[in-house]
Amino acid sequence: MSCDTCDTCGLPDDGDDRQKFDGVVALAGNPNTGKSTVFNALTGLRQHTGNWPGKTVARAEGRFTHENKTYKLVDLPGTYSLLSASEDEQIARDFILFGRPSCTVVVADATCLERNLNLVLQVLEISDRVVVCVNLVDEAKRKGIQVDAGQLEKDLGVPVVKTTARSGRGLSELVSKVVGVIEGRCQTHPHRVDLGQGVGEAVSRLVPMVNEVAPGLPNARWVAMRLLDGDWRIREALLNGELSQVAERQQAPAESFSNKMALEGSQ
């Protein structure tokens, strides 16, 4: 079986790809929402697909092009959340955070959107460059479920695209929205979860301090939340400076992806 047993998983991106590609796109989502199908449809690769949850165990990588620009696409393992310490969640979360993707596509299952939104909301806490791909629209329709993409877009503050990846429907729109986010043409205002009294206050007290340590970090709030949860990985990233490096790179203007020289200079 030609599983991609690459040894690359778990290792954050090394920045080299920034020079080779015009952007790096991560694919996240709950298990069995058709992430690998989206991946295959966009890259033309044939990553193993199958109708069972948990099948993508390693990080698969491919590329796609749009208007003469080449983007790298990374298929992350399917997860229900990013809060626990299981291996796949660690891989997915570390990549979204430390891999600094230019855009993260969260693939959601239209037939059970509510549950899938839990992950979407978590990704929105980590990154503001997100596109939500509501997949399996045909299956939802068959079950009499309609998703209002416009309303969802308003609530989430990021682009929402409805797709049926198996037949390729909606994928070109997905790509153009993703590129829009990467190139900064599309401004996002990601929804932030209402944390309630006690937690909310503790988080807002920590956020300025996180900003001081790692200025420009788009997800200071999330880092604060993780610290309050006692996440050793985040502590470590603060101690060894990994997070502030992420912040430095985030500050590079979005246009630098099409201007490789400028980017090299900024590093």
Question: Which residues 6+ apart lie within 8 Å of 195 measured at CB?
Answer: 203, 225
Looking at 64-72, 81-89, 168-176, 258-266, which segment touches another protein (CB under 8 A)? 81-89
The tokens of 11 are what? 């290792």
C-alpha closest to that of 75 among 10, 27, 127: 27
Options 44, 68, 239, 261; binder of another protein; rule CB under 8 A: 239
Options 15, 45, 218, 245; binder of another protein; rule CB under 8 A: 245
Does 210 bind another protein (CB under 8 A)? Our answer is yes
Tell me the closest approach of the beta carbon of residue 258 to another protein, in angstroms: 27
Options 11, 12, 15, 32; binder of another protein; rule CB under 8 A: 32
Does 225 bind another protein (CB under 8 A)? Our answer is yes
Q: Residue 21 has what DSSP assignment?
A: S
CB 226 within 8 A of CB 234: yes
Buried residues in 84-103 as b, exposed as e (16+ CB within 10 A): eeeebbbbbbbbbbbbbbbb
CB 132 within 8 A of CB 109: no
Options 66, 169, 191, 233; binder of another protein; rule CB under 8 A: 191
CB 32 within 8 A of CB 78: yes
Does 90 bind another protein (CB under 8 A)? Our answer is no
Looking at 66-74, 79-87, 99-107, 177-185, which segment touches another protein (CB under 8 A)? 79-87
Looking at 93-101, 111-119, 172-180, 255-263, which segment touches another protein (CB under 8 A)? 111-119
Which positions from 45 through 74 interact with another protein, judged by CB under 8 A? 46, 48-55, 57-58
Tell me the closest approach of the beta carbon of residue 97 to another protein, in angstroms: 16
Options 206, 233, 254, 256; binder of another protein; rule CB under 8 A: 206
Residue 181 or 224 with smaller CB distance to another protein: 224
Which positions from 156 through 175 interact with another protein, judged by CB under 8 A? 156, 166
The tokens of 183 are what? 């190139």
CA distances to 174, 251, 258, 259, 263 from 255, rounded to whole Å, are 20, 11, 6, 7, 9
Dist CA 161 CA 156 (whole Å): 12
Residue 136 or 175 with smaller CB distance to another protein: 136
Residue 6 or 262 with smaller CB distance to another protein: 6
Q: What angle do CA 124, 223, 84 make, to 5 degrees?
A: 75
Site string for another protein, 115-154 (x = CB under 8 A): x-xx-xxx----------------x---xxxxxxx-xx--
The tokens of 140 are what? 């939802």
Tell me the closest approach of the beta carbon of residue 13 to another protein, in angstroms: 17
Dist CA 37 CA 33 (whole Å): 9
The tokens of 62 are what? 């491919």
Tell me the closest approach of the beta carbon of residue 69 to another protein, in angstroms: 28
